[in-house]
Amino acid sequence: MNIYEKYNLKKVINASGKMTILGVSKVSDEVADMQRFAGQSFFEMAELTANTGLYIAEMLGTENATVVSSASAAIAQSVSAVIGRGDDYHTMHPYSERITQREIVIPKGHNVNYGTSVELMVQQGGGQVVEAGYANECSAEQVAMQITDKTAALLYIKSHHTVQKSMLTVEEMVAVGRVNNVPVIVDAAAEEDLQKYYQAGADLVIYSGAKAFEGPSSGLVIGRNPYVKWVQSQSKGLGRSMKIGKDNILGLVTALERYVAHGAESGESMKQRLAPFIDSLNKLDGIKADIVQDGAGRDIYRARVRVDSDKLTAADVVAQLKSGDTAVYTREYQVNNGIIEFDIRSVNEAELNEIAKKMTSIVMGEH
């Protein structure tokens, strides 16, 4: 009996992108082998954390780095780090009323829900969110005017989830931090660039391990000392409930090595893999397929499928793709306009063929 049968689970083909609700991404054989080795070995964990952090820092050209359990845990622990600043009393009593410098200034348009809210993760770290600017704008001046002697840090969320319009840049946020002598944390959880925000001067930069880098469930904090060391010392305090295993620490380091060496799959490669898929879909009645680039201009290409039929709507096709033993998840944002998109970054050749077969039987009314 396989695992899907044993637990009565649906098999999932993920043609929607890096989705937390589907398990984010798949690890490579190399990463899985490292997780297996690490899971079957012992380490002095403090040494494993410190030394893998320095290894990543060396690889990325940063002062220090540390692997944590998720980007969410990284937000909480980074906030706790900038509030406590290495103080042992704080580490053990992170929510104590004796500590009054807890405010985290964040552009109002960055206080988003990415599956949970940024604000809740800040609160877990003992921080109090102070919003700067308005829902549709935030300038450097609007951030600066929220800084008081209670401010512990500025937080910038670099993400497609946030308001992009009339928003100060990371560089401008860093400049405000510098002038006011306040550290800057950047949450770049789903971003691909491992250098940009550190080089822009952020003190701590946060990534999610399983998103762009296709690591195991994990988070990464890169940045400057003493901030990174203060993040590490959270393991003796509120970080304990966010502990990451040795298998995922070493798995993420391996995933990062691969990512730094090879990068993500190129747009050119996606186009090549998409070509036969597009051809087979275009043979179907009422279906028109072509290749489109990512709306934000990233080097990502997807299949765009227009459903133009009397018998079926795009919403019907999406629903039928998800039904049955194998659920095929697509990008549904434009379903109301009759368009379905397939993102193949986490789809292999066998799965692409399976999607084409399923599309054929849906259009033929056999599904």
Ligand X SMILES: *Cc1c(COP(=O)(O)O)cnc(C)c1O
Between 20 and 360, name the residue whose CB sits nearer to ligand X.
Answer: 20
157 binds ligand X (CB under 6 A): yes
Q: Are 158 and 188 in contact (CB under 8 A)?
A: yes
Between 77 and 280, name the residue whose CB sits nearer to ligand X.
Answer: 77
42 vs 47: CA distance, rounded Å = 11
Tokens of 256: 């990062």
The residue from 79, 190, 270, 317 that contacts ligand X (CB under 6 A) is: 190
Q: How far is the CB of 256 from ligand X (least distance, A)?
A: 14
Between 79 and 307, name the residue whose CB sits nearer to ligand X.
Answer: 79
Q: Are 248 and 235 in contact (CB under 8 A)?
A: no
Kindly determine how many residues on this chain lie close enough to bind ligand X according to the rule CB under 6 A.
Answer: 13
Between 167 and 284, name the residue whose CB sits nearer to ligand X.
Answer: 167
Binding-residue pattern over the window 24 to 43 for ligand X, x denoting contact by CB under 6 A: --------------------
204 vs 80: CA distance, rounded Å = 12
The DSSP H or E segment spanning 12 is strand 11-14
Between 13 and 157, name the residue whose CB sits nearer to ligand X.
Answer: 157
The DSSP H or E segment spanning 177 is helix 170-180
Q: How far is the CB of 192 from ligand X (least distance, A)?
A: 12
How many residues make up the chain in this entry?
A: 367
The residue from 11, 26, 93, 161 that contacts ligand X (CB under 6 A) is: 161
Give the residue among 63, 67, 17 at the shortest CA–CA distance from 46: 67
Between 28 and 159, name the residue whose CB sits nearer to ligand X.
Answer: 159
Neighbours of 210 (CB within 10 A): 25
Q: How far is the CB of 73 from ligand X (least distance, A)?
A: 7
Long-range contacts (CB closer than 8 Å, 24 or more residues apart) made by 336-339: 338/306, 338/307, 338/308, 338/313, 338/314, 339/304, 339/305, 339/306, 339/307, 339/314
Q: Which stretch binds ligand X (CB under 6 A): 176-184, 185-193, 311-319, 344-352?
A: 185-193
Of 289-318, which residues contact ligand X (CB under 6 A)?
A: none
Of 95-124, which residues contact ligand X (CB under 6 A)?
A: 114
55 vs 272: CA distance, rounded Å = 35
Q: Which stretch binds ligand X (CB under 6 A): 134-142, 154-162, 281-289, 295-303?
A: 154-162
DSSP, residue by residue, 207-264: EETTTTT--SS-EEEEE-TTHHHHHHGGGGTGGGGG---HHHHHHHHHHHHHHHHH-S
Tokens of 59: 């690889």
The DSSP H or E segment spanning 281 is helix 267-282
302 vs 100: CA distance, rounded Å = 49
Binding-residue pattern over the window 314 to 353 for ligand X, x denoting contact by CB under 6 A: ----------------------------------------
Q: How far is the CB of 118 from ligand X (least distance, A)?
A: 7
Of 64-93, which residues contact ligand X (CB under 6 A)?
A: 70-72
Q: How far is the CB of 333 from ligand X (least distance, A)?
A: 16
Q: How far is the CB of 88 from ligand X (least distance, A)?
A: 27
197 binds ligand X (CB under 6 A): no
Q: What is the dihedral of CA 211, 263, 197, 140, to 10 degrees?
A: -70
Between 124 and 208, name the residue whose CB sits nearer to ligand X.
Answer: 208
Between 161 and 306, name the residue whose CB sits nearer to ligand X.
Answer: 161
20 binds ligand X (CB under 6 A): yes
232 binds ligand X (CB under 6 A): no
Of 200-219, which residues contact ligand X (CB under 6 A)?
A: 208, 219
Q: Half-sphere exposure (CA, 13 Å, Cβ side) for 184?
A: 27
Q: What residues pair up with 287 in beta bridges, in sequence order?
A: 307
What is the binding site for ligand X (CB under 6 A)? 20, 70-72, 114, 157, 159, 161, 187, 189-190, 208, 219
